[in-house]
Amino acid sequence: MNPIPTKVLILGGYGTFGGRLAQLLAGDARVTLLIGGRSLGQAKTFCDRLAPGASRSALRFDRDGDALAQIRAVNPDLVVDASGPFQCYGDDPYRIIKACLVHGIDYLDLADGSDFVKGVAQFDREARERGVFILSGVSSFPVLTAAVLRRLAHGLATLGTITGGIAPSPYAGVGVNVIRAIASYSGKRLALIRGGQPSFGVAMTESLRYTISPPGRLPLRSIRFSLVDVPDLQVLPALWPGLESAWMGAGPVPEFLHRMLNGLAWLMRLRLLPSLLPFSFLIHQVSNRVRWGEHRGGMFVAITGTDAGGVPVTRSWHLLAEGDDGPVIPSMACQAIIERCLAGRRPVAGARAATADLELEDYEALFARRTIYTGSRTSDPAAATQPLYQRILGDAWRALPAPLRAMHHCMGPQVAAGQADVLRGRHPLARLVAFAMGFPAAG
């Protein structure tokens, strides 16, 4: 059994996702953070800016170099690969995993490439023999989506379709490696399930609109989502055999920039452009400078299926993150697993996509510390017997005061009587507004 992972090496530790993970762990004095990257200067500067708590040190780490020697020199308890883009890791994409296995070190990554995450299973036997866990795709896609799906699918006899999407705030700040990943697959075929059969979609050229609306919260504006390469496309059909379709998208804003990226993807699809990778830096600069819209982001997962009686059911889960809390969500899965390890609850040894290593309750405990709100909506047959307001409000119904629930818990005509005091301002402007709106007189 490996020791509790107190010495955590984060590759790409001063980058977008690695940096946010370091910030999430920085206040925990039980952890020693090793911030690794190609630039020692940037790693040192980042360490100096972290909140006090965890011990931290900077080091130069080139993942394209001798990974075996570099990891041996550091001797961490856990390696987190947050460098990416995982779609561009070359001829030997698993060199970090191989080095961790040689040294018997646990490993997590935030991979978003479907092929990369699926291929990690080839190391399962060796990881079990060494007693280490090698978990891939430890991020919103597919860990959070899989946890949400388990809750949404509870009690269903069949699960037919899965649709999901993430909508980052325009102020979230997108890393250049994220843009490089998108550029690497835009306009190219992605393997997915359609009509219950293996099929394909073309990345960033297929789109849909969806409104993220957690019950009891002001919804996001209707957002355009476009198909992206995420591990869910390959791992979810294996988790739910018989699935008819799975589709996952991203909804970056402002929408006109999103549509420009759709246009570039179409040029790739029509083979009028050889690659979008040369445009990565330009896209990155524009997306991080042209910012307007709501300073909030969100995510949704929607399913269709049937209940035990064969009746069609539609369910959806919605997440809303206010301000700067949304950008940390992709790094929360690694945070949750590390915190579980610190509490003595290590993941089972083996190499796999981390789709079953966290539940939604693990996320909800972290969401509760921030302005992140979630809720579900359903069209279950049982919901048809509920009062109108309860059906509309969904999960938010339970948060209403008991008198309001009693007032609206009716299935037919209901008469209510009461008394209210009407107060009006005395300022001339207040009187004018009250007159214009037709408000009642004070009394």
Based on the fold, state whether residues 320 and 351 are members of the same structural domain: no
Based on the fold, state whether residues 307 and 260 are members of the same structural domain: yes
Report the C-alpha gap between 59 and 206 in whole angstroms. 42
Based on the fold, state whether residues 187 and 128 are members of the same structural domain: no
- Domain with 116, as residue range(s), is 7-140+328-367
Based on the fold, state whether residues 24 and 168 are members of the same structural domain: no
99-108, 133-142, 275-284, 368-377: range with lowest mean pLDDT: 275-284
Give the residue carrying structure tokens 């896209």: 283
Whether 270 is covered by a domain: the verdict is yes
Structure tokens at 295: 């300073």
Question: How confident is the model at residue 3, as a pLDDT?
Answer: 55
In this prediction the pTM is 0.86
Examine the pLDDT at 226 and tell me if it is beyond 90.
yes
**197: burial class by Cβ within 10 Å (0-12, 13-18, 19+)?**
exposed
Bridge partners of residue 319, in order along the sequence: 299, 374
Report the CATH number at residue 183. 3.30.360.10
Bridge partners of residue 37, in order along the sequence: 60
Give mean pLDDT, residues 163-176. 87
Examine the pLDDT at 406 and tell me if it is beyond 90.
no
Alpha-carbon separation of residue 105 from 65, 75, 199 (angstroms) = 18, 8, 37
In our burial notation (b when 16+ CB lie closer than 10 A, e otherwise), range 218-251 reads: eebeebbbbbbbbbbbbbbbebbeebbbbbbbbb
Q: Is 440 helix (H, G, I), strand (E, B) or coil?
A: coil
Based on the fold, state whether residues 275 and 171 are members of the same structural domain: yes
Give mean pLDDT, residues 27-55. 95
Whether 389 is covered by a domain: the verdict is no
Examine the pLDDT at 414 and tell me if it is beyond 90.
no
Based on the fold, state whether residues 75 and 94 are members of the same structural domain: yes
- State the Cα torsion 71-75-77-80 to the nearest 10°: -30
Whether 423 is covered by a domain: the verdict is no
Report the CATH number at residue 58. 3.40.50.720
Give rounded-to-5 percent helix, strand, coil for the chain. 40, 20, 40
Question: How confident is the model at residue 87, as a pLDDT?
Answer: 67
Domain limit, last residue, from 367, 390, 418: 367
Structure tokens at 200: 């394909």
Based on the fold, state whether residues 198 and 338 are members of the same structural domain: no
112-121, 295-304, 314-323: range with lowest mean pLDDT: 112-121
Write out the H or E segment, with its range, that includes residue 115: helix 114-119
Examine the pLDDT at 2 and tell me if it is beyond 60.
no
Based on the fold, state whether residues 257 and 116 are members of the same structural domain: no
Q: Which pLDDT band, with edges at 50, 70 and 90, does 151 fall under?
A: very high
Question: How confident is the model at residue 372, as a pLDDT?
Answer: 97
Sign of the CA dihedral running 62, 63, 64, 66: positive
Average per-residue pLDDT in the chain? 92
Q: Which pLDDT band, with edges at 50, 70 and 90, does 159 fall under?
A: very high
CB 22 within 8 A of CB 10: yes
Residue ranges of alpha helices (H) inside 252-355 are 255-269, 280-287, 329-342
Whether 416 is covered by a domain: the verdict is no
Whether 2 is covered by a domain: the verdict is no
Based on the fold, state whether residues 88 and 148 are members of the same structural domain: no
Give mean pLDDT, residues 326-343. 95
Based on the fold, state whether residues 183 and 118 are members of the same structural domain: no
Whether 212 is covered by a domain: the verdict is yes
Alpha-carbon separation of residue 361 from 192, 240, 330, 358, 371 (angstroms) = 28, 21, 16, 8, 16
Domain limit, last residue, from 378, 401, 416: 378
Whether 87 is covered by a domain: the verdict is yes
Report the C-alpha gap between 93 and 186 in whole angstroms. 20
Report the C-alpha gap between 115 and 376 in whole angstroms. 31
Whether 432 is covered by a domain: the verdict is no
Written as one string, the DSSP assignment of 238-271 is: HHSTT--EEEEEE--SSHHHHHHHHHHHHHHHTT
Report the C-alpha gap between 230 and 235 in whole angstroms. 9
Based on the fold, state whether residues 293 and 252 are members of the same structural domain: yes
Q: Which pLDDT band, with edges at 50, 70 and 90, does 5 fall under?
A: low
Tell me 220's DSSP state: P
Give mean pLDDT, residues 413-426. 86
Q: How many domains does the chain have?
A: 2
Report the C-alpha gap between 294 and 167 in whole angstroms. 11
Based on the fold, state whether residues 289 and 344 are members of the same structural domain: no
